[in-house]
Amino acid sequence: AWSLVATPTRLYGGFGHKPNFAQAFRLDNGTSGTSVWKFSTAGNVEKVALTPDGLSLIAGGHFGTGQLQQQVCTGQNLRGLMKLNAATGILDCSWIPQLAPFGNNYNGAWDLDFTANHLWVAGGFSRINNVKAQNVARFSLT
């Protein structure tokens, strides 16, 4: 596990080094930690963070930024950042930023943090969606 986030009822994690995935576990049914959902990726999920409203899980890592490709949502490449429904693990196809450059396992989103109105992303990248962003980027939550 590279990253964990807990709520009173769920534990969310980013995992990697084969197999690679984001996963949610129940914390409200005794001590078993039953899996709720699992989303597999082509590369490590290195950081997970819940949105302030708790409805979405943002995941960052080097999935899709190295040698391995992963296409989702009818042909979009998954490249270092994604948003999953926190309850179901379903990928939000309306928010799949493209971290670049592609082809280097040291590229990706390594840290995520929220302020009142923004998501901050830090890591190894020079562009996101073809916009220059040298290792730090900010996304609006509104």
pLDDT at 66: 82
Q: How far apart are CA 48 and CA 83, in angstroms?
A: 10
Residues 107, 44: contact at Cβ < 8 Å? no
Sole residue written with tokens 């949502």: 73
The region that residue 32 occupies, defined by phi over 0 for left and psi between -120 and 50 for alpha, beta otherwise, is: alpha
pLDDT at 116: 87
pTM of the model: 0.94
**Residue 62: Cβ within 10 Å count:** 27
Q: How far apart are CA 64 and CA 100, in angstroms?
A: 10
pLDDT at 33: 82
> What's the number of CA atoms in the CB half-sphere (13 Å) around residue 53?
8
Q: Give, in order, the Cα–Cα distances in Å from 87 to each of 4, 9, 12, 71, 136.
A: 16, 11, 10, 22, 28
Angle, alpha carbons 59-60-65 (nearest 5°): 130
Best CA proximity match to 1, nearest among 10, 19, 9: 19
The pair of structure tokens assigned to 58 is: 């943002």
**Per-10-residue mean pLDDT, the chain, length 142:** 95 93 92 90 95 96 87 93 98 95 84 94 94 94 80
